[in-house]
Amino acid sequence: MRMWTAVAVATAIGGCSTSIGVDLTGLWVADSYVFGSVGGATVDLIARDGASMTLTIDRFIDARRRVTARFADGVGGEEVLSGEVFVDQGYFEFEDATFVFDRVEDVLILTNESETFDFGSGPEAATLTIRLTQL
């Protein structure tokens, strides 16, 4: 009876830790890195500047994962951010930014609604949406 209970508990715990958590572990590369203004203007830095973003997620024992994001701006600059992924809560937390995420098959979409971007007339509030594919 004790062994059956242990198996049932292990199965329940495995079922509760979302499949997203296991599937997020690995290397992800951005297909688009889009700033969208309230007024409707959008800029994809990958398409415009040849910028790139690589997201690496390492596996932890609990529901959190360590994450490193490397963004190359397409003109020689590079920024590296590190933080954690809170799988069960559905967000990434970097040093200065928090992104909610959604996963659809092999695509991961990160969204941050508290960004600013210069669309040509000075900085304005924008939503940053990053679409990544797992390698």
Q: What is the pLDDT of residues 64-81, one digit of tens each?
A: 678 999 999 888 899 999
Q: Which of 66, 42, 60, 56 is nearest to 135 (CA)?
A: 56
- Mean of the pLDDT values across residues 27-51? 93
Instruction: Report the C-alpha gap between 25 and 30 in whole angstroms.
Output: 15
pLDDT value at position 5?
A: 32
Residues 17, 19, 20, 25: what is their CA dihedral angle, to the nearest 10 degrees?
A: 90
pLDDT value at position 42?
A: 95
- How does pLDDT run across 106-131, given as a tens digit for each residue? 899 999 999 999 999 999 999 999 99
Q: Domain map of the chain by residue range?
A: 19-134
CATH class belonging to 19-134 = mainly beta
Six-digit token string for 30? 């951005």
